[in-house]
Structure formats: C-alpha cells, structure tokens
Amino acid sequence: MDKEELAAARNSSENRKRLAELKALEANENAKNLAASKLFDPIALLSRTTEIHEVKHPQLGIIRFGELVLSDSEIISKCKEKNDRSAMALYLMLKKAYPEMPQYTPETIQGFYASLPMVEGTQLLQFFLSQPGFLGEKLASGSEQTQAPTS
C-alpha cells in the first residue's frame, strides 16, 4: 500500500466511525473512573487521621506531622489571638508525629511560639499554611472556607 492508499483507508467512513466509538468508550470509562474516585469513604477517611505524613522540605529536610481533626479545632478555637491559633495548629500537627514534645495548652502556646527559632519556625509555618485545610481562609463573604486535606 502506498501513502495515498493508507491516507484514504485511514480517512474512510468505517475508520472514522470506529474512532468515534473508541472515543465514546474512553469517555465513558473516564466518567466511571471519575465517579468512583469521588465516592465518599468514611472508613478510609477515619483511618487517615492516625497516619503520620512525611514531606521533604528543601531547607528543613523531612517534616513529619499528623492531620488536624475536628477535636483539634476545639482546642485551636480556645486561643484568643490569630498567632496563637496558628502556633497551636502547628504544634498539634507536630505533636502527633513527635509525642515526646512538651505539652502546651491554649493558655501556654505562646511559650511554644516564642521558643521556635526564627528561620525554621518561619519556614515551618509557611509550609503548614500552604497545606489544604490547615486553617480556613476567610472568603469574601466573611465565612470560613473548609477543605479536607489531600494526600
């Protein structure tokens, strides 16, 4: 077969019809996969709360932390100042991976915040603030955005 015959065969109505069928099958399969991937699974969600995540940070090395859970928000909300809430969230996430850390409460979290070295503390806070669901951001309406962390 020469080039012209190949081009004619490729553009035949039979080939175009078959290609359309394959594209429809692919789209259908993609839609099924997308629907399956969005299925809410409370068992998987709850099992994730005990996991310790590890992320390689370019300056700090490997950061180990646990996810915040709803009960953590009760503790965080007891902190009066925004800096204290950020420090408490950071502390709670690190405490899950490093249980030997000293104990801090909303009343004493300033001690944790004050003891963090400036360079590492700033980088840690920036890293955690970039994580989905760390602390909700205020939307234009004034309500808080909530978003589940992703792994």
pLDDT tens, residue by residue, 128-148? 888 765 654 443 434 444 444
> What's the token pair of residue 137?
């951001």
Same domain? For 83 and 28 the reply is no
151 in any annotated domain: no
Say if pTM beats, i.e. exceeds, 0.75.
Answer: no
Same domain, 119 and 87: yes
Residues 28 and 57 in one domain: no
Helix (H, G, I), strand (E, B) or coil at 20: helix
Residues 125 and 70 in one domain: yes
Q: Under DSSP, is residue 107 helix (H, G, I), strand (E, B) or coil?
A: coil
Residue 7 has pLDDT above 80, yes or no: no
Residue 88 near residue 104, CB atoms below 8 Å: yes
| pLDDT at site 132 | 65
32 confidence band (pLDDT: 50, 70, 90): confident
Query: 10 Å Cβ neighbour count for 47?
Result: 10
Same-domain pairing of 31 and 60: no
Phi–psi pair at 110, nearest 5 degrees? -60, -35
Averaged confidence pLDDT in the chain = 82
Question: What number is the average pLDDT over the span 3-21?
Answer: 78
Range of the domain at 94: 48-129
In this structure, the answer to whether residues 54 and 124 fall within a common structural domain is yes
60-71: burial string, b at 16+ Cβ within 10 Å, e else: eeebebbbbeee
Q: Is residue 87 part of a domain?
A: yes
The reply to whether 55 and 117 lie within a common domain is: yes
How many helices (DSSP H) and strands (DSSP E) are in the chain? 7, 2
Report if residue 144 sits inside a domain.
no
Would residue 13 count as lying in a domain? Answer: yes
pLDDT at 71 over 80: yes
Each residue of 53-65: pLDDT tens digit? 999 999 999 999 9
Q: How confident is the model at residue 100 (pLDDT cuts 50, 70, 90)?
A: very high
**Site of tokens 């690190």:** 94
In a domain, 67, yes or no: yes
Query: How many structural domains comprise the chain?
Result: 2
- DSSP-derived letter for residue 39 is -
Q: Are residue 89 and residue 58 in the same domain, yes or no?
A: yes
